[in-house]
Amino acid sequence: MTYSELRNQIFQKQSYLCVGLDTDVRKLPRHLLSEPDPVFAFNRAIIDVTADLVVAYKPNIAFYEAQGPRGWESLQKTLAYIPKNCFTIADAKRGDIGNTSGLYARTFFDPEAAGLDFDSVTVAPYMGHDSVMPFLEYSGKWVILLALTSNPGSADFQRQAVNEQELFEIVLETAQNWVGPDSHERLMFVVGATQAAELSRVRELAPKNFLLVPGVGAQGGSLADVSRNGLTSDGGLLVNASRSILYASSGTDFAERARAEAQAMQQEMAIQLSVIS
């Protein structure tokens, strides 16, 4: 999906909501456990009730890898089921040098390899440009680089001062230079919702790049704060919610409750978008 296609989806749906498919088999409603593939049955139901409200889906790969071959099959079926007008993110947080990164990229971008064809993958920048560039060798695919995350330990490294800058600021500037002046068409950054106070600074350094923002909902991030500091004239945000939507109910009404949660977020996003239109 191109930058302009993603932008158009945001304004057509009046939403920049991303649903994180962090599907934990231990938390599934009990009535789904008799399904041949309970994880896929759950994901399919969530997608069915939210696809008109969201612009992206983000399976967290760890939840599928933890199930071994069965989990990988669930992931393949889930990705194939997601509507083509929705942006897809492999939340894998990969990053290694040379050939290894190339193989990680192949895993998520080459359907002839592992049976997956995501639009994007999350990548850790710690090992530098040669750990990131193999992902960008795939035409039309995106890298979503970790920049300033929402976990408590993010300050251990990301907020450390280096030559009068914080490390996350160097990541933002340097990564854009790797890609070039049109980096916003291939490169996004992860910025946690609990870091909303820093979003204005992020926007100074990355004024056009999309930001993937986890941490709204169960992690306590404020959608209003994120929107105020992060939205651009093209939208520029994908705000992720996982647990607050997926596990709004553990009963037979889980899908209906999930839709209600997603719709409440979408309606707030529509209001925020009206301010920049």
Which residues are known to be catalytic? Answer: 93
The first and second tokens of residue 172, run together, are: 């933002």
Structure tokens at 211: 């930001």
- CA–CA separation, 129 vs 59, rounded Å? 25
| DSSP strand pairing (187-191 vs 237-241) | unpaired
* The one-letter amino acid at 139: S
The Cα 172–Cα 183 span in angstroms is 11
- The Cα 35–Cα 12 span in angstroms is 35
Q: Which residues pair with 19 in a beta bridge?
A: 57, 241
Of 65, 110, 109, the residue nearest 88 (C-alpha): 109
Asked whether the beta carbons of 90 and 120 are under 8 A apart, the reply is: yes
Sequence letter at residue 45: A
